[in-house]
Amino acid sequence: MWRNHRSGWGWITIAMHWVSAVGIIGLFVLGWWMTDLGYYDAWYNLAPWWHRSLGMLLLGLTLARLVWRLVQPAPRVPGGRLERLAAHLGHIGLYGLMLTVMVSGYLISTARGRGIDVFGWFEVPALISGLPNQAALAGEVHWYSALALMILAGLHALAALKHHFLDRHDVLARMLVARSR
């Protein structure tokens, strides 16, 4: 039950999905909240540190999800050909936006050549820095791709609810509980 099969997701996929979902929503809320912090606010330095640290951990999890997705089968998607295509394109969009948000966040944080301290556990080195307007351009990409990600994630959730309540498919149930084959 820890691995995926043609009729359902395994526990590893389910756990990575929900940890990612909570992380993405939490980072979006934290990021939005910290933009209003003033210089003398107690969270002025701490909130971005948490945001960067969690973002780097989420980037690692997202890369692990992509590798896991490549080596594990995906359950059959119910519905017609057009619905299956929409689901496939939606998942590609979600992964693409997740990577865009996290890579642009990395580029903002490393623009001055300093690595990213992840909770004092390790440092992600600044491999790319000093590009013209790097922080400003990456900041624009980061903000708008984060908004797009939240919109697409909301549509993803609505599609799951539609499949569950209107179509009576087990798509949502498969992402809540791992079942045997």
Asked if residue 3 is part of any domain, the answer here is no
Residue 1 lies in a domain: no
- Residues 38 and 47 sit within 8 Å (Cβ to Cβ): no
Which stretches of the chain drop beneath a pLDDT of 50? none
Q: Can you give the pLDDT at residue 156? A: 98
Structure confidence at residue 4 (pLDDT): 95
Q: What is the pTM of this model?
A: 0.95
Q: How many domains does the chain have?
A: 1
Q: Is residue 154 part of a domain?
A: yes
In a domain, 6, yes or no: no
Look at residue 17 and tell me if it is in a domain: yes
**Within-domain flag for 181:** no
pLDDT value for 171: 93
Range of the domain at 60: 11-176
Residue 180 confidence (pLDDT): 74
Tell me whether residue 40 is in a domain. yes
